[in-house]
Amino acid sequence: MNLVIDIGNSRIKLALFSERDLMFNVPLDEVKPEQVKVLLDEHDDLKHAIVSSVRDYPEELKSFLENNFENFIELNADTPVPLINCYETPETLGKDRLAAAVGATEIFPGRNVLVIDAGTAITYEMVTAENKYLGGNISPGLTTRFKALHHFTGKLPLVMPTDDFPILGTNTQSAIQAGVQIGLLFEVQQYIDYFNTNYENLEIIITGGDAKFFDNKLKNSIFVHFNLTLIGLNRILEYNVKKT
């Protein structure tokens, strides 16, 4: 069994996998060694662990993982991964972006896949049927766009997303809601159209906290998967365990 810990800027996800099968995952505010010990006591075959972190986390947790698992990986730019990484500066590539790309190869092996991760930022990652990660783009996410309009203008209010937005606003609030949300939908649709034109049999995966916003709003068939990063991290772990 595998322990996967994904430490983001604002939240932590902890998951258990039986080889490649996700057993469960939970969101946490923090992860302590005592919590991991409970899992070890409950699962005798829990032998491998991986941590992906975009911020510093307690040294005591790292030490506990190193000392209590047969294989422990702290994901970094030098960690071997089961795809060809064509990114020119792998040391600057976000761990979540890389893990999502690997997760795409796990869900759709041998396929061209466009991964759209909709969160604080919205990222676009392209993985080819030849198992090559070509790179991707970064754009402001849905909530970030609303906050930016409010922060960088003198009079525009802070408006939140809504499922009920018009094509054209008839007041300032609806004008912001329509402008931001329709603008983002147009952006995403243009990306999908471009890659559909240039890559045959393209699969599209949308993940991240705002993934539901796009469901049923795009003309293409999309696959919403909230655990894509966790699946990718587990795949990286499995890949390295088999190499040892």
Annotated binding site for ATP: 6-13, 120
96 carries an active-site annotation: yes
Tell me how far apart the alpha carbons of residues 244 and 234 are, in angstroms, rounded to a whole number.
16
Annotated binding site: 6-13, 87, 94-97, 117, 120, 172
Tell me how far apart the alpha carbons of residues 227 and 107 are, in angstroms, rounded to a whole number.
11
Bridging pattern class, strands 12-18 and 21-28 = antiparallel
The catalytically annotated residue of 21, 44, 56, 96 is 96
Q: What is the DSSP letter of 92?
A: G
**Residue carrying structure tokens 């766009």:** 145
Cβ-defined contacts of 111-115 (< 8 Å, 24+) = 111/201, 111/202, 111/203, 112/195, 112/199, 112/200, 112/201, 112/202, 112/203, 113/202, 113/203, 113/204, 113/205, 114/191, 114/192, 114/195, 114/199, 114/202, 114/203, 114/204, 114/205, 115/205, 115/207, 115/228
Q: What is the DSSP letter of 3?
A: E
Q: Which residues are catalytic?
A: 96
